[in-house]
Structure 1
Amino acid sequence: MFNNSLFKLKKVVLATSLLAVTGAANAGYTVKLDDGDTITFGGYIKADVRSISGDVSSPVTNDDYWIGNAAVVDDISTTKFSANETRFNTKYVHGDVTGFIELDFYGGGGNQIVSNSSHPRLRHAFIKYKNILVGQTWTTFMNTSALAEAANFGGALNASAFIRQGQVRYTMGGLQLSLENPHSDKGDSSQDSIPDFIAKYTFKGDWGNVSVSGLARQLNTVGGNSETAVGGGIAGRIKTFGKDDFRFQVHGGETGRYVGVVAARDLVGEEVEETTSYMVAYRHFWTEEMRSTVFYGSTDADVANTKRNHVAVNLFKNFTKQLSFGVEVGNFEMNEVSKDSNYLQFSAKYVL
């Protein structure tokens, strides 16, 4: 009876703790359970106002942010309010086992007539045991620290490694090896039976980090052919003066869908696409609470003969440790058709 009563008491304490943390204003809420286990709740609330004017739009994301692809339009002039980038996550830790799940609200299903509702969307869901990870998360090919800080989600996505997908990953020090979900973009994905193989080594120090990565895949064309695709990249984040940093990514070869968020496709007809991508960003702290990033990204696709460029500069100010406001101005260009659009974006972000 005593054990049962104690168990009930702990459940009440946990429930009370959960109610407390959902209304708290501190960053990172961790609830301690029995035997050192923990549950951590995190995420952020982000609200954006975005104006676009020019000759291209990003219909895949309903103009919420620029990806590597765009559509030619005639003299677009639009302003949109949204909060879809808002996300929440939960991390469970039990000894050597960690479980993590995260959702955002880019799942579609909303309307701008009455409710502006939007479906939750799975971002991450993985289990990690010691040096083995299984589930969906960022591809091992990617260096997340090399993404630019931007109001436009991810910065210059047109030139950055950027994929979340199912995988099995092994980590030993700076070395990571993974087998990841295969998909022949613009090919016959029903024949994809061999996982993508990725290897990455990350060098770290007080100066920052630099990673070198490579991938090998089998792509299946709509004509029934199997083609080998290989690509590589180097990316990093280097500390410079004070709190400033320089971030960069350079990728080349047959990287396809792994780089640029459809700035290039895996296959063009029966041919494997060859791409060259680079992104550079410099972040400068004007004060402890105010900072700016200027970034530029470009991807050239040889077979499709396309080139996509994205340049922008922003200013962010933290009013509290968790609350920041920002403004960003930039330009997205489809060089192959000499079309571009300018954009102005304001954002407010509250980190939970």
Structure 2
Amino acid sequence: MDARNLRRPLALAIVAALLLPGMAFAQTAKEKELEARIVQLEAQVQALLGAQQRQQDALAQQQGSIEQAQAKLDAVQVAQADGKPKLQSTPILTAGNPDTRFSFGGFIKVDAMATSTNAGEIADGSAGRMFYLPSAIPVGGADESRTDLDTHAQFSRFWFASDGEVQGHKARAYLEFDLFGGGMGNLGNQASTNTHGVTLRQAYVSWDKWLAGQTWSNFQDVAALPDAVDFVGPTEGTVFVRQTQLRYSSGPWAVSLENPQTVVSAYRGTARTTSDDGNLPDITARWTSKGSWGHFSVAGIARQLRMDTATSHASGNGYGLSVSGKVNLGASDDLRYMLTGGTGIGRYVGFALGPDGTLDAAGGDIESTGVLAGFVAWRHVFDPKLRGSLMLSRAQLDNETGWTGFGVTKSAQSIHANLIYSPFPKLDVGAELIWGNRELESGADGDLRRLHATIKYSF
């Protein structure tokens, strides 16, 4: 073979040697790229399968919950007698506006009181046997060395309310009742039935800034009342009235027109007459400031006194001012107070401890009775379950003895100390020691000593 023939195969061999590794290298890179894409696709498939499995598990769990709930509902329906309506089978507010919310609440309160007096006995079945009522403290009678025990559940309470918005206006309706019924034995007797009537406490409607109906007087600061075991506590020192009214509130201000009623004493006597002959409403105004420190409030009242008889038409005027509030003293203490003064406002203070006024000899004029009353109460929280309060209260009446005589109340005062234990939320078990005193214009007086225990459960 000549040189030319040898040169051609050699060139082909060299070319093959140069090309084959590149082709092998190119084939390997493409395979690796394909393998990477396959791995990525497998990961995506696994993720989709995992998500599907989780969704199936959640659906299975939800189906199990539905089946359990249906089983319970079936059990309740089987247990109910045929023909009886199911619980809330129809809407509670069938005539209510859309989005109206209905609520219900109250408390059960059981009271036991051991009472002794030194100048007579408080009449059986009267309000003074049920809560601290300074005007009921006997004066001038025999010393009652023995102790009277009274028990009742008449201050248990329940209420209904509906709240909602009607065409952009906030509306509320509220009804509240207790079982006071006018006192023990009003409908039944303690020997057998202990029947007591339902008593209307509040019934009003409010919309936006307006309120109409029966509720606490605008002249009273309910937020300043102490944490008492007794129904009120420092009764003689506080304004305490519920009545029908029309009220307008805006920011810190509230004004109202309220039911006129006049309590009048006879000339040189202790007998009282309640008159609804007034033709002008009682007018009140209140200003309140609130903050994390507590609240402060000032209220004023102006009113007409009037009593008509077949032979005379007596009239007079009344006015008063009340300052009250609550001061937070750290996380565990607060101080509550009220100071009220005026003339012709007797029925507003201390459950009408004194009258609004006294008739003159001819029955043609009403002499307004002045009053100055107040209380201070310190509350301390020992721990989340135990709290206590100490209260001091006094009222002084400015009687014109030439008109009233000397048998009317001149002053009343009391001291209260209590402890309230709450073993769990909404349940209170408490006891309160009460000392009260009432003095007449003649100088005669009487004392009351009471141990008041209570159990109260709110719902």
Fold agreement, TM-score > 0.5: yes
Separation in structure 2 between the aligned mates of residue 67 and residue 207 of structure 1, nearest angstrom: 32
Q: 1:301 aligns with which of 397, 409, 412?
A: 397
In terms of fraction of residues, the more helix-rich structure is 2
1:119 alignment partner in structure 2: 197
Matching of residues 89-238 of structure 1 within 5 Å? 89-95=159-165, 96-107=170-181, 108-186=186-264, 189-221=275-307, 224-238=313-327
Deviates more, 1:263-272 or 1:77-86: 263-272
1:86 alignment partner in structure 2: 156
2:101 alignment partner in structure 1: 38
Separation in structure 2 between the aligned mates of residue 154 and residue 167 of structure 1, nearest angstrom: 22
2:78 alignment partner in structure 1: none
Separation in structure 1 between the aligned mates of residue 114 and residue 106 of structure 2, nearest angstrom: 26
Structure 1 residues 82 and 188, CA gap change in structure 2 (3 angstroms)? closer
> Is this contact kept in 2: 1:322–1:351, CA < 8 A?
yes
Relative contact order (C-alpha < 8 Å, sep 6+): which is higher? 1
> Is this contact kept in 2: 1:47–1:347, CA < 8 A?
yes
Structure 2: 5+ residue stretches without partners: 1-84, 265-272, 360-365, 400-407
Separation in structure 1 between the aligned mates of residue 433 and residue 221 of structure 2, nearest angstrom: 25
* Matched residue SS, 1:36: coil
RMSD: 2.1
The count of residues paired between Structure 1 and Structure 2 equals 329
Structure 1 residues 188 and 260, CA gap change in structure 2 (3 angstroms)? closer
Q: 2:129 aligns with which of 53, 57, 63?
A: 63
> Is this contact kept in 2: 1:39–1:93, CA < 8 A?
yes
> Is this contact kept in 2: 1:68–1:262, CA < 8 A?
no
> Is this contact kept in 1: 2:219–2:301, CA < 8 A?
yes
1:278 alignment partner in structure 2: 374
1:289 equivalenced with 2:385 (yes/no): yes
Q: 2:415 aligns with which of 294, 311, 315?
A: 311
* Matched residue SS, 1:48: strand
Deviates more, 1:221-230 or 1:163-172: 221-230
2:430 alignment partner in structure 1: 326
Separation in structure 2 between the aligned mates of residue 339 and residue 135 of structure 1, nearest angstrom: 39
Separation in structure 2 between the aligned mates of residue 314 and residue 17 of structure 1, nearest angstrom: 44
Structure 1 residues 190 and 140, CA gap change in structure 2 (3 angstroms)? closer
TM-score normalised by structure 1 residue count = 0.88
Aligned-pair distance for 1:133? 0.3
Q: 1:340 aligns with which of 447, 450, 455?
A: 447
Aligned-pair distance for 1:320? 0.9
Separation in structure 1 between the aligned mates of residue 193 and residue 274 of structure 2, nearest angstrom: 39
TM-score normalised by structure 2 residue count = 0.68
Separation in structure 1 between the aligned mates of residue 89 and residue 232 of structure 2, nearest angstrom: 36
Separation in structure 1 between the aligned mates of residue 161 and residue 431 of structure 2, nearest angstrom: 31
Aligned-pair distance for 1:149? 1.1
- For 1:191, give the aligned amino acid: D
Aligned-pair distance for 1:58? 5.1
Higher CA-based Rg: 2
- For 1:277, give the aligned amino acid: A
Deviates more, 1:74-83 or 1:248-257: 74-83
Separation in structure 1 between the aligned mates of residue 355 and residue 385 of structure 2, nearest angstrom: 40
Aligned-pair distance for 1:260? 1.2
Structure 1: 5+ residue stretches without partners: 1-10, 19-32
Deviates more, 1:197-206 or 1:102-111: 102-111
2:38 alignment partner in structure 1: none
* Matched residue SS, 1:335: strand
Q: Give % identity.
A: 28
Deviates more, 1:240-249 or 1:314-323: 240-249
Aligned-pair distance for 1:37? 1.4
* Matched residue SS, 1:225: strand
Deviates more, 1:253-262 or 1:118-127: 253-262
> Is this contact kept in 2: 1:58–1:66, CA < 8 A?
no
> Is this contact kept in 1: 2:320–2:341, CA < 8 A?
yes
Q: Deviations over 1:83-115 (max 9, x none)?
A: 001000001112111000010011132311101
Structure 1 residues 242 and 128, CA gap change in structure 2 (3 angstroms)? same
Aligned-pair distance for 1:12? 6.3
In terms of fraction of residues, the more strand-rich structure is 1
Q: Deviations over 1:4-38 (max 9, x none)?
A: xxxxxxx96735898xxxxxxxxxxxxxx884311
Separation in structure 1 between the aligned mates of residue 98 and residue 122 of structure 2, nearest angstrom: 49
> Is this contact kept in 2: 1:110–1:119, CA < 8 A?
no
Separation in structure 1 between the aligned mates of residue 453 and residue 90 of structure 2, nearest angstrom: 37
Aligned-pair distance for 1:328? 0.7
Q: Deviations over 1:38-90 (max 9, x none)?
A: 11111100001100012355544151101241142431620011100100000
